[in-house]
Amino acid sequence: MLREVDLKRFVEELAIPEDTKLEAMRQRILAEPDGPGRHQQLLSAALGIVALTGPAYAMPAFAYDALRHPFLKKSPLRLSRPAAEASLRLSARLPGSYGAAIHSEAREIAVARFGETIGLD
């Protein structure tokens, strides 16, 4: 079972490619103050987002952090700015020359879609 702080980070790092309502719900939940029931609220959000988005799209940061599996779908880099930013945060952390190559390609795709400021916020 994830600690609440880790579960919040998990929800923050989920990539939601095209569902603006789901992204808005995530932002509302993340903005809620800590308190009773917070862990369950975050867990419900995490499970719902992953179920509706799909693990390969939603969980690239978790796949890397927990499993050391650097798998990054390219389509979220084009589909929404928040998903592109989540993908770029992960790709920037990948080590070695393969990490640099993945990040370079990811940045190129995101910049072509969202402009030079993507990932600098």
Structural domain harbouring 15: 4-114
pLDDT tens sequence across 97-108: 989 999 999 999
Measured N-to-C along each axis, helices 81-93 and 96-114 cross at an angle, to the nearest 10 degrees, of: 160
pLDDT tens digit sequence for 58-113: 998 888 888 888 788 899 999 999 999 999 999 999 999 989 999 999 999 999 99
Q: Whole-model pTM?
A: 0.81
Q: Which two three-digit tokens encode residue 109?
A: 């795709």
Q: Is residue 49 part of a domain?
A: yes
CB atoms within 10 A of CB 8: 19
Kindly report the length of the chain: 121
120 inside domain: no
Total count of domains within the chain: 1
Q: pLDDT at position 112, please?
A: 95
Whether 19 is covered by a domain: the verdict is yes
pLDDT digits (tens, 9 = 90+) for 37-55: 999 999 999 999 999 999 9
Q: What is the pLDDT of residue 30?
A: 96
Question: Of 94, 116, 91, 87, nearest to 13 (Cα)?
Answer: 87
Establish if 119 belongs to a structural domain: no
Q: In this structure, is residue 36 part of a structural domain?
A: yes
